[in-house]
Amino acid sequence: MGSDMATVPLNGAVIAGSHNAEIGLPDGWRILAQGGSAVEAVEAVTRVVEDNEADHSVGYTGFPNLIGDVQLDAAIMDGARRRVGAVGALEGYRHPITVARAVMEKLPHTFLVGAGAARFADEIGQTAEDLLTDETREIWRSGIAGHLPGKLEMFRGPLAQLTALAADPEHVHGTVNVVARDAQGDLAVAVSTSGWAWKYPGRIGDSPVIGTGIYADNRYGAAGCTGLGEVSIRGGLVRDIISRIAAGQDAEAAARAAIEDLLPIALDFPDSAIMNTILLTPDGQVRSFTTGPALQHVSMRAGDEAPVRSDSITVAWPGVELQR
């Protein structure tokens, strides 16, 4: 690290995220190492992932919905004051996490969706653009056209007939989660996603739903999740984890119990349900969990020259066999 970073007392600062956050983690760590806030750091990492053209689950180049529109969800939470900001079904702006942070800091509200979220993005100076690239357009067309009785352009039936395509296990899962503890001991978490590929227009998953896909409280921890949002929404996963810690459970035991409690819900989606969770404790310990195949999270703290990969803890969901 540069000498300017070494002069800042880091006091247990750490930043961590889902595996796809690796590309942006150094940017977030640089902010923490220079004395910046956890909120600033998690937004910075998330923005890099949203810009990553190789990641079709987040931001620019995210997979579109059934009718070919890219709709993005994001949320950010400040564990010091439990302030939150979220956006859902945002079209035409590649950085929903920045819009979510502006909701948290500039409005008396916590959640904007659709046209209102887009209007606000324009008001805060975000640049509008077409997020559907040639590559994702072709993936979209090939992904659903073969399931239609005729040409895609000629389909006039109810879109609900096509929602089964949104359970395509090759395209369902994907979100970026980032958690951080700054030198002041404050926690923050950010989540951003383009959601299920080929989803029904307007569908919002767990990512921007506070307490379901994201939560932070300096007293007990910060957490976010990825996977099949319909499952975590029905179980209030992330708030459940934090509540169990508040009640005295060990962090790992709390996460395991909360994820295991979702099994009856997950069995409604036996071929596509999966849940990945990352948890940061107030003292800066990071753990991640998955119900699916082997997975890793990434983290950086004092002394790390690059993101460090760590294995996720596997939590079994008997009867759920993710089809790949």
Asked if residue 3 is part of any domain, the answer here is: no
Is 54 contained in some domain? Answer: yes
C-alpha to C-alpha distances, 186 to 166, 283, 308, nearest whole angstrom: 38, 10, 22
Q: Say what the pLDDT of residue 196 is.
A: 85
Q: Are 68 and 32 in contact (CB under 8 A)?
A: no
pLDDT score for 189: 98
* Structure confidence at residue 56 (pLDDT): 86
pLDDT at 5 (0 to 100) = 36
Please list the active-site residues. 175
Name the one residue in this structure whose structure tokens are 């939590």.
315
Q: Report d(CA 92, CA 239) in Å as an integer.
A: 30
Tell me, yes or no, whether 2 lies in a domain: no
Which residue, among 91, 50, 46, 299, has the nearest Cα to 190 in the 3D structure?
46
Q: What is the pLDDT of residue 145?
A: 60
Bridging pattern class, strands 111-113 and 83-90? parallel
Task: Give the DSSP letter string of 251-318.
Answer: HHHHHHHHHHTTHHHHTTSTTT--EEEEEE-TTS-EEEEESSS--EEEEEETT-SSPEEEEPEE---T
pLDDT under 50 in the chain at which residues?
A: 1-8, 150, 169, 171, 324
CA angle 308, 309, 310 (to 5 degrees): 120
Q: Give the model's pLDDT for residue 152.
A: 54
323 located within any domain: no
Q: Is 321 within the bounds of a domain?
A: no
In a domain, 107, yes or no: yes
Tokens of 83: 């302030």
Q: What is the CATH number of the domain that holds 238?
A: 3.60.20.30
Q: Are residues 192 and 59 in contact, defined by beta-carbon separation less than 8 angstroms?
A: yes
For residue 119, what are the domain limits?
9-314
Domain count, the chain: 1
Flag whether 195 is in a domain.
yes
Q: How far apart are the first and last CA of the chain?
A: 40
CA 69 → CA 122, 180, 220, 284, distances in Å? 18, 32, 38, 39
pLDDT computed for residue 6 by the predictor: 38
263 in any annotated domain: yes
Q: Which residues does residue 73 pair with via DSSP β-bridges, in sequence order?
A: 193
Run of H or E including 225:
strand 221-227
CB burial class (10 A; 0-12, 13-18, 19+) of residue 231?
Answer: buried
72, containing H or E segment: strand 72-78
